[in-house]
A and B are shown apart, each in its own frame.
Chain A
C-alpha cells in the first residue's frame, strides 16, 4: 500500500530539548516536503526536497532543519524547540511526473511546553 508514515503521531516536549520527527515514503517519490498547520493560518510549507541531498526552504523554515540522505526518508529536526512551534505537522511526497498527486502522512501533533 502506498503510504507516507510519520512518527511519532503525538509528542509533548519541553523547550530546548532537541527532537526529530521522522517521515518515510514507500513510493520512490523524488519530492518530499514538510508542512505545519495552525488554526487560522492553514497549511504552510516548512522545507522541501527535490531529491536526495537537495533541500530548500519553504515559507516558514525558521527553527527547523531537514536532511535527505535517502530517497525514502525526510526527517524534520527541531534543534531547540520553542512553544511557538507547537503545531500539527504533515509530511508529503510526490512524484516528479507530470500531473501527479501528493500523498500526505497522518500528521504529528507537537506540543512544546
Chain B
C-alpha cells in the first residue's frame, strides 16, 4: 500500500470549511484513498473514499488530483464536534494476499475546530 503524508495539526474556525490535505505520491492505479477520523478515544469512523473521481457524501467531500498523487478532504462547515484526528489511508481494492485488508493508520492530522 502506498505511503501517505499529512500535516500533524491544523486549526479551523467554526462554521468555516476545513481542508485537510494528504500526499500519496506513490499511489498505484488500483488503490483507493480512504479517510477516517477518530474523535478523542472513540473507535475510528469512516468518512469517505474515492478512486479517481471527486466524491461527496453527507459528511464531507473528497477531491483527488488528476494525477492522483494528492487529495483533500473538505468538511464544508466545520463544527466543534469535528475536532478529531483525521487519517488518510491508501488501500488496494480487493484481495491481494495475506494482510491486504489491513488498514495501516499513520499519525494523521489533528484538526482543532475553534469557536
Which residues in A have some Cβ–Cβ distance to B below 8 Å? 4, 31, 33, 35, 37, 42-43, 45, 48, 50, 56, 58, 88, 90, 92, 94, 96, 98-99, 101-107, 109
Q: Interface majority SS on B: helix, strand, loop or mixed?
A: loop
Complex: A56 Cα to B97 Cα, angstroms = 12
Identify B101's interface contact among A94, A99, A107, A109, CB under 8 A. A94
Of residues 90 to 115 in B, which have CB atoms within 8 Å of A's CB atoms? 93-95, 98-99, 101-103, 105-108
Please indicate the chain A residues that have their CB under 8 angstroms from the CB of B46 in the complex: 101-103
Complex: A106 Cα to B43 Cα, angstroms = 5
Contact A42 B105 (CB under 8 A): yes
CB within 8 Å for A33 and B101 given contacts A90-B43, A90-B44, A101-B34:
yes
Please indicate the chain A residues that have their CB under 8 angstroms from the CB of B94 in the complex: 98
B55 to A: closest C-beta gap in Å: 11
Contact A107 B43 (CB under 8 A): yes
Contact B49 A4 (CB under 8 A): no
Contact A50 B101 (CB under 8 A): yes
- Does B74 make an interface contact (CB < 8 A)? no
CB within 8 Å for A48 and B32 given contacts A88-B41, A96-B95, A99-B49:
no
